[in-house]
Amino acid sequence: MFKKRIILFLFAIFCIPSNLFSMHIVEGFLPPFWSFFWALIALPFVGLGLFFINKKIKLNPKIKIIFAMCAAFVFVLSALKLPSVTGSSSHPTGIGLGSVLFGPFAMSVIGVIVLLFQALLLAHGGLTTLGANLFSMGITGAFVAFVIFKLLDNLKFNKSISIFLASMLGDLATYIVTAFQLALAFPDANQGILFSFVKFISVFAITQVPIAISEGILTVIIFNVILNYNKEELKLLSVIRT
């Protein structure tokens, strides 16, 4: 039954309308130097991610289904466009779920796959900005979510609270880094990078905070569904204790 639900969930991602636009940095927006810079930084994380994914799958091939679900979760949520009163738009990232289950390095692999498909099929983001978008969402957001979850879990916080805060703060971290990336590329002519950062982050903040809270709640719900059907796999992944 669980496998059938996962297959239906994966199939559903192809039913998303093609006129969606996300707040990934768009194709050609960053200067060539910064496009290359972020791609160079992101590349080692992807290599390590492939290593850790193969290692975890060898422990139990069944976790491939959960891994695919995490990828679909990121694809769907990060493809949504939610309007903002500031004249921009925002979207959830979905990165927290996979970070909790598989760790931050694995999410760099999911991130690059999702961002590549979105750039090619949905015109979200772009190829030249792939490295920057991956660093903000699939690396920084993933690491923040993972660290928050592990910290709270070690302090014996309730599992749902730990996952909620990890997902929410991972989402917010993504947008903070995106604003910083834009500020580095386009500093204010008179007042510099910091002033530019404040301008960019203020564009996202109004809508992104409630979106992050909503994503945290949704992530807890999805995690509890996985827990009900795949408890043994979560034990192997060291997400829950024996």
Q: Ranked by mean pLDDT, which of 1-10, 215-224, 232-241 comes out on top?
A: 215-224
204/195 Cα distance (integer angstroms): 15
Distance of CA 88 to the CA centre of its chain: 19
Give the bridge partners for 220, in sequence order: none
3-class state of residue 11 by DSSP: helix
Share of the chain above pLDDT 70, in %: 87
Domain parsing of the chain, residue ranges: 29-80+87-234
Model confidence pLDDT, tens digit, residues 147-202? 999 999 999 999 999 999 999 999 999 999 999 999 999 998 888 899 999 988 88
Nearest to 226 by CA among 101, 110, 107, 105: 101
Q: What is the mean pLDDT of the segment spanning 82-96? A: 72
pLDDT of residue 205: 80
Tokens (6 digits) for 185:
């590329």
DSSP string, 8-45: HHHHHGGGS-TT---SSPPTT-S-HHHHHHHHHHHHHH
Confidence of residue 242 (pLDDT cuts 50, 70, 90): low
Question: Model-level pTM?
Answer: 0.86
Tokens (6 digits) for 80:
């949504």
Confidence of residue 86 (pLDDT cuts 50, 70, 90): low
Buried b (16+ CB within 10 A) or exposed e, 160-178: eebbbbbbbbbbbbbbbbb
Residues 236, 135, 97: CA angle, nearest 5 degrees: 35
Cβ–Cβ under 8 Å, residues 78 and 22? yes
pLDDT of residue 37: 97
Cβ–Cβ under 8 Å, residues 124 and 79? yes
Helix axes 142-154, 159-185, angle to 10 degrees: 150
Confidence of residue 15 (pLDDT cuts 50, 70, 90): very low
Confidence of residue 84 (pLDDT cuts 50, 70, 90): low
Q: In the predicted model, what is the mean pLDDT of the chain?
A: 86
Confidence of residue 9 (pLDDT cuts 50, 70, 90): very low
46/120 Cα distance (integer angstroms): 19
Model confidence pLDDT, tens digit, residues 119-152? 898 877 889 999 999 999 999 999 999 999 999 9
CATH 1.10.1760.20 fits 29-80+87-234, yes or no: yes
Distance of CA 204 to the CA centre of its chain: 16
pLDDT of residue 214: 94
3-class state of residue 188 by DSSP: strand
Q: Above 70 in pLDDT, residue 112? A: yes
Residues 58, 62, 63: CA angle, nearest 5 degrees: 75
User: Cβ contacts of residue 175 below 8 Å, gap of 6+?
Assistant: 23, 90, 136, 201, 204, 205, 208
Tokens (6 digits) for 57:
């799958």
User: H or E stretch including 134?
Assistant: none
Cβ–Cβ under 8 Å, residues 213 and 92? no
